[in-house]
Amino acid sequence: MHNLTQVWEKYPLSGYVVQGSNGEVVYLNEEEKVDVVKFVRATISSEKLLIAGAGCESTKQTIGLCKKMGEAGANAVLVINPFYYNKAMTNVNVIINHFNQVANKSPVPVIIYNMPANTGIDIPNEAIIQLSKHPNIIGMKDSGAKIGKIAYIIQECPGFQVLAGSASFLASALMCGAVGGVCALANIAPGLVLEMMSKIRQKDYTKAFSIQKRLVESNAAVTSRWGVPGLKAAMESLPFLRGSYLRSPLLPLTKKEKGTLEIILQKADISKALRHELC
């Protein structure tokens, strides 16, 4: 297993999310999921936060995986809502019941993962507000890109920690009170993402949004446009990183797509930034 954490540990990142959408979590069996978390825990600073994906379709499976992730060294678990029985899962009471049961038995704090692009369900505000009152549910990663929703949840849930699920709206989310982000783009541009966050905290909004605009196309390339294959191709093409292989049924980018991707990354000077930061 290639140790990418040797690169990322050079940056002042707060921590890592393992077994998220970009970790191809749905293509790993339970043993593999736990092994990856153990590996990352062993290769990062003990001070770094480690969040492990533990969402499954059944409540029982989710609870079981939460326990194993806690034993593997995770500080918290990221739990996506069940979605296969889509119509039933839009019921607010079903969502609340599921997360409450998981939080009651998880040995580590739970973070709700709202990912409507993949699940087809945007977790209702009513459910999130109710769940935010549970002492073992500490926050939410929201990848829905609705700034109004993020602002409303932050306003209605004091102390509830909201994380932006994409760099595409990270600056705006931070200005609304989000505490940070879990961003695919940080795999290839950690320094730039951290700089953008720093500028927001310094109230240098002009510089922050200048970085945000610079990264928009690259972020789209490794998320909505080409997804995991795009992210891994980007990592493979950049210095110090390695993208590794994809699991079927995902396929690698074509030669033409890789060429387009490299042009996009060059426009954002991501390779230059990595070399400057790490050399």
Catalytic residues: 141
The string of DSSP letters for the chain reads ---THHHHTTS---EEEESSGGGTGGGS-HHHHHHHHHHHHHHS-TTSEEEEE---SSHHHHHHHHHHHHHHT-SEEEEEPP-SSHHHHT-HHHHHHHHHHHHHH-SS-EEEEE-HHHHS----HHHHHHHTTSTTEEEEEE-S--HHHHHHHHHHSTT-EEEES-GGGHHHHHHHT--EE--GGGGT-HHHHHHHHHHHHTT-HHHHHHHHHHHHHHHHIIIIITHHHHHHHHHHHSTT----PPPTT--PPPHHHHHHHHHHHHHTTHHHHHHHHH-
Please report, as a single letter, which amino acid is at residue 111: I
- Give CA–CA dist 144/124, Å, rounded: 11
- Give CA–CA dist 197/195, Å, rounded: 5
| Cβ pair 102, 63 in contact under 8 A | yes
| Cβ pair 185, 167 in contact under 8 A | yes
